[in-house]
Amino acid sequence: MRIATWNVNSVTARLPRLLAWLESAKPDVVCLQELKCATDAFPGEQVAELGYEAAAYGTGRWNGVAILSRVGIEDVRRGLIDEPVYEDASEPRAIGATCDGVRVWSVYVPNGREPGHEHYAYKLRWLEALRGTVISESDGARPFAVLGDFNIAPTDEDVWDISLFTESTHVTDAERKALAVLREAGLSDVLPRALKYDKPYTYWDYRQLAFPKNNGMRIDLVYADAKFAGSVTDAYVDREERKGKGASDHAPVVVDLTV
DNA sequence: ATGCCTGGGTATCCCAGA
């Protein structure tokens, strides 16, 4: 089975590239983030023509997540257990589904904006709810993984220049502790290989030639339980998708499994 | 070449992204 995660930065704007990529990469399951469209506006018919069923969860302008599967999709759950709200609103940032016996979650962790900001506190509360959902759903009986844009660089090696990240989100101790808590809950970081250079970055800002300079960050992660991680045969970042006109600022992470 | 932001909506500026 091939499972991928990709922050597409608007599924509407990215649709031509998404469809072409589905045809070339041939993933069985795809976790999408930043749909920027409402559930009803998701391009389900277009992906169905390529053999994919879709479960989407979006409210429009911001956020939005989905799972595509060509091996079946069951037990869809929208939102985390005991999910926090931001400014009194629940945001579409998590969706779970079972695809051919594998339980996957597609997550778009809040950005945080800056340490001390209310959005940062929300990010940490949201990650606590993710932990609770992981504990509730990962029983070891079936392969389980959380895939998506975590908006956290796990180590200093996961950003191009850590000296530029003082007083910044994505690298703080509290955010990294939230990842450590997920590892303590039985998940492990499935580290992809890079197709070029030495670091498997997954995000490069649109500005200041970040991609040509390889000023990237590894923030799109695959956190998998033992059954899932133990069946991984390969994992890579498809940086080709960051190239050219009409690219997302994130590249897909692709994982191959024996299950 | 991979090339100096992009997407979407309250729209022709503003907010968010990381």
CATH number of the domain within which A234 lies: 3.60.10.10
pLDDT value for A167: 87
A112, A175 Cβ separation under 8 angstroms: yes
Assess whether A192 (CB) lies less than 7 A from strand B.
Answer: no
pLDDT band at A204 (very low <50, low <70, confident <90, very high): very high
Residue A119 domain flag: yes
Residue A259 domain flag: no
Q: Which residues of A49-76 are buried (b: 16+ CB within 10 A; e: fewer)?
A: eeebbbbbbbbeeebbbbbbbbbebeee
- Residue A151's domain spans which residues? 2-253
Residue A49 domain flag: yes
At A175, the amino acid letter reads: E
Residue A47 domain flag: yes
Mean pLDDT of chain A: 97
Residue A111 domain flag: yes
pLDDT value for A157: 96
What total of structural domains would you count in chain A? Answer: 1
Q: Which residue is closest to B4 in terms of CA–C1' distance?
A: A208
Give the model confidence (pLDDT) of A131-158 as tens digits: 999 999 999 999 999 999 999 999 999 9
Q: Which residue is closest to B17 in terms of CA–C1' distance?
A: A111
Give the model confidence (pLDDT) of A59-112 as tens digits: 989 999 999 999 999 999 999 999 999 999 999 999 999 999 999 999 999 999
Residue A258 domain flag: no
Residue A185 domain flag: yes
Distance from residue A61's CA to nucleotide B10's C1', rounded to whole Å: 12
